[in-house]
Structures are given as C-alpha cells and as structure tokens.
Structure 1
Amino acid sequence: MTFPSYTSSCLDAAGRGRQFGARWRQAVHANLDGYLRLFEVSGAHDGRVRELGEQALDSTAAWAPELAEEIGGIAAGCGLEPWQVAVVNARTEILAALRHDGEGECSTAVVLGGGLPPRTTQTWDWHDHLRDAPLLWAYEPREGHQVRTFTEFGVLAKIGVNSAGLGAHFNILRHESDHAHPGVPVHVVARRILDEAATLEQATEIARSARTSASTVITVVTLEGARSLEICPDGVAVVEADTNGVLLHANHFLDGALSAGERLGTERPGTYARLEHLEERTGELGDPDATARARAMTSHGPVAPVCAHADPALPLDQRWETLAVISLDVAAAEMQVHQGRLCQVTDATWQTF
C-alpha cells in the first residue's frame, strides 16, 4: 500500500490551489468532514469552528498573503468556502483552542556525522479515522525550487524536503501560552520554511517571524546540521543536536525556559518514556538503512508505545495510530515513506518520493 501522490504544474499560488482542489475535490471534502467530527467530539459547534477558521485565515493573509491565496484557490477548486480549507490548515490551532489532548503522537530521530548524510526517521501518529488524509505532494513555489511534502488533503505542508537541501520534520507540542485566538497556523509556518529556507538560520528566522497561537516543533535538517525549532506563543526556542550529532524529539519541550510551561507532558507523561526509548537506541537510529532505523524505533511498551495501535473501544478523539513512517534524504531532495505502523515496515514497503 502507498499514499497517493500528486505533482502540481502551476507556479501561481492561487492557480496551484485551484488545480489541486479540482483534482482532489472528494478527498479534501472527506478530510474536512473528518476534522469536523473531531472538533464536534471535542466540544466545538459549527459556528465556533467557522469563527476559528476565519481568524486563522486572516492571520495567514497578514503573514503570508500568497499562501492565503493558495488556500482560497483550493477552496474554489473543490467547491468549499476559504474558511473551510483554512480549518484543516489550522486544525492544530483549533484543537489547542478546544484544549484537546491525546495519548499518542509523533517521534523524531535525526543522527548526523559518521561520514554519512543525515539519517532521519519520524512516525506520524494521528487519529485512526483520518488514516486516508495523507498524500505526497510535489510543487514549485517558484521556478527552479522544488518542494516535496508529506501532508494532508487541503493542508499546505507538513513534513518535507526541498531542492535547496533542507528538510523538515514535525511534532505537536502543548504549552500554557497556547490560546483560543488563532494566529498563523503552524502548518503554514512549515510550508514557508520549505518554500523559502535553504539554511538552518533562514528556517529559524521564518519561524520567529510568525505570531502563533498553538505549539509545535519543526526539526530542520541540512547536510550541515540539524536543529529543533520549538514554537509556541511565548516564543521560539532552538534545540541543537548534541555533541554526538544526535537530535531526538517526542511531544514535550526540551528548552529549559519553555519547558516551564509544558502542558502535554504533564498530562500525558508517556512522551518522556518515548524519548527515553529513542535515547537508548541512538546507535541503531544512525544506521544508513531506513528499515533498520524503523525497527530500532519500534516499541510496543505499555507506558508509551512508539508504534501506536488504535483501540477501537475508545472514543473517536482518543484513538491514535501510527499512520506513517517518514525518512528524509536531504542530499537527494527525496523522502522515503511507509504507509502504516512501524512494526509493518519492510524493505518492500517504502515509497520513494
């Protein structure tokens, strides 16, 4: 099994959006419906969701006008209102506004050095009813600059790599400063980094220029190094790889100052156990073989499984599953993507994009 993939041919943001929306009309509608179900279970009525979506779209338009135009283009192409497409781009902000939490989430490992390009591995854990949300999307934000992203239908970007040799991993965080007045969606921040950054410093500057209302960590990787950008409304902290070239992240803040406002880890402490598991496997996580790295990352421990299996007995908003495993090749500007859980990875299940 593989994820659907799509290559845009339009350089104009609004036109690219219309082209995408027309091609993937049914899938964008289905993804929106899936999120509306999640928001409803989390306590939001339709009017509240629209209000939050419109605020997020306004914040996007002020910070990245072309990306707001692309959201509008997707909406026009698939027969939705712009605020509806903004909703799926701002799902992190809406869930933060609703104070939604969950047990599962993503784990990321980057290992540098050893005379090899960076070795990166990430799980993408999300609600199992949204397992059909992802796709692989290639596009050019400007002529000669290619971006490949693992994202969701209607979402501008998430995890990805660009032809300048920069890649980005993506993990959700929760912070006491998160609030209910949507700023720039963190997925839009990831998109601008992939569209514009060639260096770690450029990525950091982009992240720091955004006024956000929710938290996340974007781990940026180049041939020269890697760093995690811990983003929250209180600011952006930089976490560098350690002296051995290892950079690991789960779903809690590592920066000393921002960690004082940690919220997800205090409510869901399994994130700390997941990070400890990665720390115990750093040697194997530096293996040049992506399958070996996935096997090293795999854990079904009862406290904090890195490979998550959804429990059908739980409510919709508490069912989490590892839906994808992603490795970035920044030297080749490609990704290797596995659809499904970590424990299902084999050499034959990787999709190169």
Structure 2
Amino acid sequence: MTFPTFTSSQTDPRARGKEFGTHLRKRIAANLAGYTDLFRAAGAGDAQVRAWGERALDACAAWAPPLAEEIAGIAAGAGLEPWQVGVINARTEILAAIDMVGHGECSTSVVLPQDGPPRTVQTWDWHDHLRDAPVLWEYEQDSGRVVRTFTEAGTLAKIGVTTAGLGVHFNILRHDSDTPETGVPVHLIARRILDEASSVEEAVDLARSARVSASTVITVVTGTGAASIEISPAGVAAIPPGPDGVLLHCNHFLDAGLAAGERHATERPGTYDRMRHLEDNVEGLSGAELNGRALTMLSHAPEGAPVCAHPDLTQPINQRWETVATIGLDLPAGRLRVHRGGPCQVTEATWQTF
C-alpha cells in the first residue's frame, strides 16, 4: 500500500506541467471529479466553482507567473481547461468560500533536538472519497534544487522537502476573515516556499507577499530552525518553537492576534484535544525513529483525541474524514517518508521513502 510516484524530466514550467498532466491524466480527472462532488454536496453550484477557479488563476498569474504557466501545462497534458486545474489548486479557497465545516483534520509535530536533525511527523486527514488523490512528485529546478512533495494529483505542492535543506508540513485553518473573493491559493504559497526559500525568514517573506482569501498554517523546518507560519486574510504570523525546541500545531491559530478570529476551534473543538494529546506525549514525539513518533500520534475518538481518523460511512461525503497519510521529513537526505493510512496501521515495513 504505497502512493504513486512521478519524477519530472522537464525544468521549463509549462513543459513540466504538461508532462505531469499527461502522465497523471486519469488521476487528475478523478481528483477533479471528487472535488466537484464535494463542492456540490456542500451546496456550491458548478458555475460558481468555475468562477472561483478562474479567479484563482488570475491571482496566481499576478503573484507567480511561472506557476500559472505550470498549471496551464498540467491542463494541456490532462485534457482539461486551465480553470479546472485552478479549481484543484484552489480547493482550500473554495471550501472557505462555501463555509464548509467538518470534524477531521491534521496534526503536526516538530522537535529540534540539541544535536541531530529535526524530528518531524504529521497526520494528513482528508475526505475518504479522495483517498486516491495523493501522489509523490519529484522535480528539479534550473538551479539544481530538487523538490519532493506529497501532493494531490494536479496540485502544485503540499507537504515537501528540498535538497536545499528545507521542508514543510501543512494544516488547514479557518478564520473570520476568510472570504469568497479568491486570492492566491495557499498550496501555491507552499510551492514557492519549496522552490525558493532556504530559511524560515525567506519562507515568511514569501507568505506575506501573497494576498490570500483562505487560511492555513505552513510549518517550515530547516536544519537550524522552524516556524509555523499562520496565514489568513487578516495577516501572517510566525510561531517559533518553544525553548525546548518543540513546535506543535493542529487546526487552530496559536498567534494571539489571529486567534481572535478563530473559526476551526469553535466548529471543530477536537483540535484542542489533539493539541493536548501532542503536548502530553512530547517525549515520544522527540524520538529518533519515525515509526515511534508516528505510534506516539496514535489516538482514537471517542476514548481520546481523534488524531487517527476513520470515516463514519453514515455521513455524507462532505462530513466523512480519514487519516489518509502519516508523513515525516528527512531533511539531511532531502527525502519524504510516507505511510499510507493512519498511525494505527504503521509498522516498520509500511514506510515509503521518496
């Protein structure tokens, strides 16, 4: 049980996108269909979704023209219209515009030991009917930097690591300032951080340069530091590790100013339970072995914090969640280590190194 992989041979953005779209044509079409079903279940009309996808492309073209070219290439390779690939990349923005709520979501742990590389792990929860959306994608830039990302078919990036010694984890947030006026998709911010940043400070600057319409947190990790970059239309805040080198994040804002507009915690209070579970288990999350860190994450509701999620099949698709992947960053090697499924299924043999 592993995720499909693809390694690009092209460095020109449009050519790289076309190659990616051609190779993953069926998966991209299936991902688009899955999101179309999700948006319809949440009450969004097809014409409105198309308009949001087109606005996302406009925002991307203004902020990062090469990424707009890559999206156009993916569309050409996959036999889709550019706005359709725009919809896939802007799914967080569309869900914020719809104001969809639910009870799943992700948990991230980063520990910076006094000696040795960062020790990270996160669960990635999403709707169970989209469990086949993820792919592992490797591409090289003209500069020679290699990026490896766990993403969804047709999406330019999500969780990832680079040979420049930087990696990112990714969690969704919700804020009162989220708006239907589609801005730069947050997944594209993660992509530019992976492509361009070599430090936490450079990553924060990139995040602050984008006009966004939805909220997220991108936890950036290097060999010497880390920060959870909380992004919302109301502003951007960088949360550093504590004095013990521990940085934990779930799906609520930690910055005092941004927390005043918190949405997730009022609608999904389980995020606080998950944070308490992480805080109570820092020793296990600090371990050198990824398998042990993942098992430390393990907790099921209702007995404990729902860090490892399983779908309730009695619910409609927009209210069903599962832990699709468990992921750690190996910064020294510039590699991802990925387990397909939640911590309750982890063994030493289930890790995919990419």
User: How does the TM-score come out when normalised to structure 1?
Assistant: 0.99
- How many Å apart are 1:177 and its aligned residue? 0.3
1:261-291 deviations in Å (ceiling 9; x for gaps): 0001111111001000000000110101011
Distance 1:108 1:55 in 2: 30
Q: Distance in 2 between matches of 1:237 and 1:159?
A: 19
- Counting only pairs closer than 5 Å after superposition, residues 333-352 of structure 1 correspond to structure 2 as 333-352=334-353
- Distance in 2 (CA, whole Å) between partners of 1:198 and 1:323 is 29
Identity %: 63
For 1:30 and 1:192, locate their aligned partners in 2 and report how far apart those are by CA, in whole Å. 26
Structure 2 residue runs of 5 or longer lacking an equivalent are: none
Question: Alpha-carbon deviation of 1:230?
Answer: 0.1
Using the alignment, how far apart are the partners of 1:349 and 1:102 within structure 2? 29
The answer to whether 1:88 aligns with 2:91 is no
**SS in structure 2 at match of 1:168:** strand
Structural RMSD (CA): 0.7
Note the alpha carbon deviations across 1:211-258, whole angstroms, 9 max, x for none.
000000000000101100000001100100000000000000000000
> What letter corresponds to residue 170 of structure 2 in structure 1?
F
SS in 1 for 2:59: helix
| Alignment-derived partner of residue 283 in structure 1 | 283
- 2: CA distance between counterparts of 1:97 and 1:304? 28
| Pairs within 5 Å for 1:1-353 | 1-302=1-302, 304-353=305-354
Q: Quote how far apart the aligned CAs of 1:140 are.
A: 1.4
- Report how many residues are paired: 353
> Per the alignment, in what secondary structure is the counterpart of residue 252 of structure 2?
coil
C-alpha deviation, 1:183, in angstroms: 0.2
Q: Which AA in structure 2 matches 1:180? A: P
Q: Distance in 2 between matches of 1:67 and 1:323?
A: 27
Q: SS in structure 1 opposite 2:115?
A: coil
Residues 166-202 of structure 1 show CA distances to partners (whole Å, capped at 9, x for unaligned) of: 0000000000000001100000000000000010111
Give the SS at the match of 1:262. coil
Query: How far has the Cα of 1:142 moved from its partner?
Result: 2.4
Shift of 1:342: 1.1
Q: How much does 1:331 deviate?
A: 1.3
Runs of 4 or more, structure 1, over 2 Å off, are none
Separation (CA, whole Å) in 1 of partners of 2:193 and 2:110: 18
* 2:117/2:223 contact within 8 Å kept: yes
* Superimposed CA distance per residue, residues 8-63 of structure 1 (whole angstroms, 9 cap, x where no aligned partner): 01000000000111111111000000000000001111100000000000000000
Contact 1:13–1:141 at 8 Å: present in 2 too? no
SS where residue 164 of structure 1 aligns?
coil
Distance in 2 between the 1:53 and 1:265 partners?
28
Name the CA distance, whole Å, in 2 between partners of 1:59 and 1:224: 33
Letter in 1 for 2:308: C
Larger displacement relative to structure 2 (134-143 or 20-29): 134-143
Q: Please give the secondary structure, in 1, of the residue aligned with 2:141.
A: strand
The one-letter code of the counterpart of 1:269 is P
Q: Is the 8 A contact 2:107 2:307 kept in 1?
A: yes
Letter in 1 for 2:143: E
Shift of 1:163: 0.9
Alpha-carbon shift at residue 341 of structure 1 (Å): 1.4
| Amino acid in the other structure paired with 2:239 | V
Amino acid at match of 2:309: A
Alignment TM-score, normalising by the size of structure 2:
0.99
The answer to whether the 8 A contact 2:327-2:338 is kept is yes
Which amino acid counterpart does residue 269 of structure 2 have in structure 1? P
SS in 2 for 1:336: strand
Q: Tell me if the contact between 1:11 and 1:143 (Cα under 8 Å) persists in the aligned partners.
A: no
CA contact 1:324–1:337 (8 Å) conserved in 2: yes
The 2-side partners of 1:198 and 1:332 are apart by 15
